[in-house]
Amino acid sequence: MLQHLNTIKEIFQAKNLLELMQLNPGASEEELRELEHHLAVSLPADFRQYLSIHNGQQQDEGIIFGLPLLNIAGIKDEWDTWHEIWADGDTNEDLADSMSSKPEGHVKPVYSNPKWIPFSKDYGGNHLGIDLDPDVKGIVGQVIIFGRDEDEKLVVAASFTEFLAMLAGHLGKFKWSYDEDGWEDHEEDALHYHDWLRELHEQT
Q: For residue range 138-153, what is the model confidence (pLDDT) as tens digits?
A: 999 999 999 999 999 9
* Helix (H/G/I), strand (E/B), else coil: 113: coil
Evaluate if residue 175 carries a pLDDT over 90: no
- Are 130 and 141 in contact by the 8 Å Cβ rule? The answer is yes
* Residues 6+ away with beta carbon under 8 Å from 159: 44, 46, 139, 141, 142, 143
Q: What is the mean pLDDT of the chain?
A: 92
Provide the whole-model pTM.
Answer: 0.94
Evaluate if residue 59 carries a pLDDT over 80: no
- Quick one: angle between helices 160-173 and 45-53, nearest 10? 60
Lowest-confidence segment of 20-24, 104-108, 123-127 by average pLDDT: 20-24
Q: In sequence order, what E strands does the chain have?
A: 100-102, 116-118, 126-131, 142-147, 152-157, 176-179, 182-185
Evaluate if residue 188 carries a pLDDT over 60: no
DSSP 8-state class, residue 65: T
**The predicted structure's pLDDT at residue 130:** 98
More confident residue, 112 or 15: 112
d(CA 58, CA 72): 11
**The predicted structure's pLDDT at residue 5:** 96
- Are 153 and 145 in contact by the 8 Å Cβ rule? The answer is yes
- Are 98 and 90 in contact by the 8 Å Cβ rule? The answer is no
